[in-house]
Amino acid sequence: MFAFLVRRLLSAIPTLFLIVAMSFFMMRVAPGGPFDGQRKLPPDIERNMKAAYDLDKPVYVQFYKYLTKVLHGDFGPSFKSKDFTVSQLILVGAPISIRIGLTALAIAIIVGLGLGTFAALRQNTAADFLTMGIAMFGITIPTFVVAPIFILVFAVLLRWLPAGDWNDGDLRHVILPITTLALPQIAVVARLSRGSMLEVLRSNFVRTARAKGLSSFKVMTRHVMRAGLLPLVSYLGPAAAALMTGSLVIERIYGLPGIGRYFVEGAINRDYTVVMGVIIVYAVLILALNLVADLAYGWLDPKVRYD
């Protein structure tokens, strides 16, 4: 197990380097810059500002200096948010994104797993078709369509919930964002869990357990659930990273000050350092959570060994 962890951590280093390098150079290739706007700056001021942020140097020199700072934990200053560094913005936005993302993920796992198990135990019945039909509908409708509909119905027409804003994490203000994030994940988890449960229910060891006289409850909890979670664990690694770093669209629509919102605003304003900082955080989370998913996979399936 220790050798496996070392190999995975070592392999993550070149992966992370490639992600940082590709993101850095692709942003520099894109037209526009952090100091381009509707009001053109005087040439002397623009030249001084570029020199202050090392933007007047060759791209490879900028990359080397940026990489050196990142290795020391410094993501640099924000070009647009004055008096704030990228690290400060991430530390402010990350708890909000993580809170909303983890809550949406927990709801998706509980509800989706319950619906998938319910559909698997009633295969090819009306309940199965209805559950999977709703799940497929939830997968096909994107969140940037669901969010405005929720705002229109629950905030504008019914006036049950506020249309947005964080308001220090007040429950009424986070219900719509969390629900919008959780709905597509519930649909995916339900379909994955149903398919894996059906496969496990037909396996030989389940038939053997039933032949020995075990009750349906014990068969489901001791055998089917554990084996049926394997495909779901593989999916939840990147899904958890995506939810915890905040949905780029959801935080923008609901006006939440998470890192997803900073990413969108940074991309629009060509705030290179903010965009790069969010990309690095997102990449590290994906690598770390995929590693956790692999370890959980080995714990759930005794046949998997990493030695």
Q: Are 241 and 279 contacting, i.e. CB atoms less than 8 angstroms apart? A: no
Which one of 71, 101, 131 terminates a domain? 71
List, in sequence order, every residue forming a beta bridge with 77; answer none if it has no partner.
85
Q: Residue 44: inside a domain, yes or no?
A: yes
In this structure, the answer to whether residues 135 and 165 fall within a common structural domain is: yes
In this structure, the answer to whether residues 65 and 96 fall within a common structural domain is: no
In this structure, the answer to whether residues 258 and 210 fall within a common structural domain is: yes
Cα–Cα distance measured from residue 229 to residue 221, given in angstroms and rounded to the nearest whole number: 11
Task: Look at the block and give the residue holding tokens 């037909």.
Answer: 202
In this structure, the answer to whether residues 57 and 141 fall within a common structural domain is: no
Q: Residue 142: inside a domain, yes or no?
A: yes
If you ran DSSP here, which 8-state letter would residue 40 be given?
Answer: P
Domain that residue 263 falls in: 92-300
**For residue 33, what pLDDT is reported?**
66
C-alpha dist (Å) from residue 11 to 4, 16, 130, 219, 287: 11, 9, 44, 39, 10
In this structure, the answer to whether residues 245 and 195 fall within a common structural domain is: yes
Q: Residue 141: inside a domain, yes or no?
A: yes
Q: Residue 229: inside a domain, yes or no?
A: yes
Q: Residue 76: inside a domain, yes or no?
A: no
Q: Residue 87: inside a domain, yes or no?
A: no
Q: Are 177 and 256 contacting, i.e. CB atoms less than 8 angstroms apart? A: yes
The whole model's pTM is what?
A: 0.79
In this structure, the answer to whether residues 25 and 105 fall within a common structural domain is: no
In this structure, the answer to whether residues 67 and 149 fall within a common structural domain is: no
**For residue 75, what pLDDT is reported?**
86
Q: Residue 148: inside a domain, yes or no?
A: yes
| Domain count along the chain | 2
Tally of residues, the chain: 307
In this structure, the answer to whether residues 54 and 171 fall within a common structural domain is: no
Q: Are 232 and 189 contacting, i.e. CB atoms less than 8 angstroms apart? A: yes
**For residue 298, what pLDDT is reported?**
67
**For residue 284, what pLDDT is reported?**
86
In this structure, the answer to whether residues 161 and 294 fall within a common structural domain is: yes
**For residue 38, what pLDDT is reported?**
53
Task: Look at the block and give the residue holding tokens 């030695």.
Answer: 307
Q: Are 232 and 196 contacting, i.e. CB atoms less than 8 angstroms apart? A: yes
In this structure, the answer to whether residues 275 and 168 fall within a common structural domain is: yes
In this structure, the answer to whether residues 12 and 131 fall within a common structural domain is: no
Tell me which residues of the chain have a pLDDT lower than 50: none
Which one of 14, 39, 71 terminates a domain? 71
CATH number for the domain harbouring residue 191: 1.10.3720.10
Span 174-232, pLDDT tens digits? 899 999 888 888 888 888 888 888 877 777 777 787 787 777 777 777 767 776 777 77
Q: Residue 81: inside a domain, yes or no?
A: no
In this structure, the answer to whether residues 28 and 126 fall within a common structural domain is: no
